Amino acid sequence: MSKKNKQQKSYYDRVHGWGRISTLSALCVLLMFPMAICLYLGVFPRAELVFKGLLQVIPLYWTVAVVEVVFYTPMLGAGGTYLSFVTGNIVNLKLPCAISAMENAKVKATSEEGDVISTIAIATSAIVTTAVLAVGVIAFAPFLDTFTNSPLLMPAFKQVIPALFGALGAGYFVTHWKISFAPILFMLLILVFVPTIGASTLIFPGIIASVLFAFVMYKVGFLDKKEKRQK
Amino acid sequence: MFDNSSLGLYLIAGAVILFVLGQSLFFLIKAWKHGKEMGIDKKKLKNAVTSSALFTIPSALSVLATVIALAPALGLVIPWVRLSVIGNITYETVAATEAIKAFGITTGITEAITDPEVYAGVAWVMTIGICFSLVILPFVAKPLHKKFLNASKKAESEVTEESTSTENTKETDTPKKKRSFAGFMDYVTPALFIGLIGAFVANSILGAGKADVALDGAGVLSVLTLVTSVIVSVVLEIVSKKFKLTWLEPFVMPIGMIAGMVVAVVAFNVLPESVALLEWRG
C-alpha cells in the first residue's frame, strides 16, 4: 500500500471515528433538551399525546431521514456528512456551501482534497448560521419581526431559494450542461402535472432521473470527449 | 401561564448550541490541519471559508425568519435550538403545527402556548421526530462512504488504463470505447448535484405555492430572482477568468445570490402589485 493510500485510509477512518462519537453525543445532548425543559418546568407531558403528535410526524420524517442519509452522504463527504446531519439545514445551506466551495477549489467531491474543502465549508456554514441565529435571537429579538416582515425586505427573504440555487446552478449547469438539461426538463414536466409537489420532494425523483439520464448518455457515448475536454 | 423566555430556558438552549458549535469548530480545525498536511494551498482553504461564510449569511437570515415565525406560539428558545441542531425550515414548522394539534390546540403556531405541559410535549415531538438520521448515521455513513469511494477509485484506475491503451493506438484508429459501470462513477457526483439543484430551479420556474400565502410559488418574482442570480454569477465567473481576478472567485456565487435578492426587492417595490405578486401556479 502506498504512503498516500495509508494516509488517506487513516484520515477517513479518523474522521468516521470522530463522526460516530460526535453524532451519538449530539443525539444524547439533543434528547436531553426536552428532558431538561420538563425538569426545569416541573411538568411531564402525557405520553399518549406525545405519541399522537409523533404519529403525524414519524412516518414521513423518519423515512425522509433514511433517504437523505443514503442520497446526501456521497455528496457531503465523510466529515461533511456528520457535521451536516447534526447541524441541519442540509439542502438549503450545507450542501450548497460544500458544492460551491468544491467548485471554487476545483476539486472532486470523491477526492480527499474534496473531503477537506467540503468539511471546511460545512463547518464554516454551521458556525456562521449558529452565530447569526444566536445574535438574532439574543440581541435583536424585539426588532426581528419588523426586520424580516418589513414590506421593503420581505420579498428578499421570500426569494432566498431561487437566488441561492440560481447562483449555485449557474456555474454547475454551464460546466455540466450535457447532463443537466434532461433532468431539469423531466422535473419541469413533473411540475406541470404535480405543481404542488414541492422542491424537497422533487429532489428524490430528480436525483434518480439525473443519474439515470447521465448513465444512458454515458452508455451511448454522448458524454465522451467533449465533457472531458472541459476539464 | 409560564415564561417561555426565562433565563433558565435560554441557558438550556445555550448549552445545546455550544455543543454544536464545539463540534463544528473541532471538524473545522481537523480538516484545516489535514488540508495543510496534504499540501493544499492555504489560499484555497481560506477561500472555502470566505465563500461559505458569505454564501451562508442570506440563507441563515431566512432560517432566522423561521425561528421568528415559530416564536408567537413557542417563544424563541425551542425554535432556536431546533433550527440550530438538525432542524430545517420545512420540517420544523410542520412538526410544531402537528405537535400543537395533538394537544388539542387548534390555533396552530399563531398563538402563544400558555400550558407548560403542551410546551414540553411540543419539544419532545419536534426532537424525536427529527432525530432519526442521527440514530442511523453512525452505522451506515462509513460503509456508504467507503462503497462510493471504492467505486470512484475503480473508475479512476479504469480511466487511466483506458487512456494508456488509447495512447498506444494511432489517432486515425477509432477504437470502440469500453464504457464500464465503473467509468460512469465520474458522472455520478455531478448528476447527484444536478438533481438536487435542478429540483429547486425547476420549482422556482413552475412550482405552486399555497393559495393563501403570497410569493411562495413560482411567478414573476421567483423567475426574475432566479434569472438575475444566474446571469450575475455567469458574468462574474467569465470576468474573473478572463481578467484572472482570482480574488473574485470566492465572491462570485454570494454576489450572484445577493444580486437576485436585491432585484426581488426592487421589482416588488417598483412593479405594479398585480404583476409583482403574480404566481402562475397559485
Q: Is B239 on the interface with A (CB under 8 A)?
A: no
Q: What is the pLDDT of residue B32?
A: 96
Size of interface A-B (CB pairs under 8 A): 581
Q: What is the pLDDT of residue B151?
A: 80
B281 compared with B176, residue with greater pLDDT: B281
Q: Given a cut of 50, is residue A231 above it in pLDDT?
A: no
Q: Do A16 and B87 touch (CB under 8 A)?
A: no
Q: Given a cut of 80, is residue A112 above it in pLDDT?
A: yes
Residues 6+ away with beta carbon under 8 Å from B125: A50, A53, A54, A57, B95, B98, B99, B102
* Alpha helices per DSSP H over B87-131: 89-102, 116-130
Q: Given a cut of 50, is residue B122 above it in pLDDT?
A: yes
Smallest CA-to-CA distance from B53 within A168, A155, A72, A120 is with A120
Q: What is the pLDDT of residue A230?
A: 41
Q: What is the pLDDT of residue B79?
A: 86
Q: What is the pLDDT of residue B161?
A: 64
Q: And the C-alpha cell for A142?
A: 424585539
Q: What is the pLDDT of residue B250?
A: 79
Q: Given a cut of 80, is residue B64 above it in pLDDT?
A: yes
Report for A101-105, A144-148, A221-225: range of highest mean pLDDT:
A101-105
Phi, psi of B279 (to 5 degrees): -125, 120
Smallest CA-to-CA distance from A120 within B44, B255, B20 is with B44
Q: Do A166 and B256 touch (CB under 8 A)?
A: yes
Q: Given a cut of 50, is residue B190 above it in pLDDT?
A: yes
pLDDT digits (tens, 9 = 90+) for B92-108: 777 888 888 888 887 76
**Residue A40 with chain B: CB contacts under 8 Å:** 8-9, 12
Q: Is A119 on the interface with B (CB under 8 A)?
A: yes
- Nearest CB to A30 within list B38, B131, B191: B131
Q: What is the pLDDT of residue A227?
A: 45
The overall average pLDDT reported for chain B is 84
Q: Is B251 on the interface with A (CB under 8 A)?
A: no
Q: What is the pLDDT of residue B124?
A: 93
DSSP structural state of residue B43: H
ipTM of predicted complex: 0.80
- What type of residue is B6? S
B196 compared with A231, residue with greater pLDDT: B196
pLDDT digits (tens, 9 = 90+) for B129-148: 889 999 999 999 999 988 88
CB proximity under 8 Å: A 183-222 to B:
183-184, 187-188, 190-192, 195-200, 202-203, 206-211, 213-215, 218-219, 221
pLDDT digits (tens, 9 = 90+) for B3-41: 887 889 899 999 999 999 999 999 999 999 999 999 999
**Alpha carbon distances (Å) from A179 to A91, B48, B105, B151:** 21, 26, 49, 20
- Nearest CB to A123 within list B15, B31, B216: B31
Q: Given a cut of 60, is residue A2 above it in pLDDT?
A: no
Total residue count of chain A as it appears in this document: 231
Q: Given a cut of 80, is residue B216 above it in pLDDT?
A: yes
pLDDT digits (tens, 9 = 90+) for A129-186: 999 988 888 876 666 666 666 777 788 878 888 998 898 888 888 888 999 999 999 9
User: Pseudo-torsion of CA A172, A177, A182, A183, nearest 10°?
Assistant: -10
- Identify whether the C-beta of residue B158 lies closer than 8 Å to the C-beta of residue B182: yes
pLDDT digits (tens, 9 = 90+) for B230-243: 999 999 999 988 99
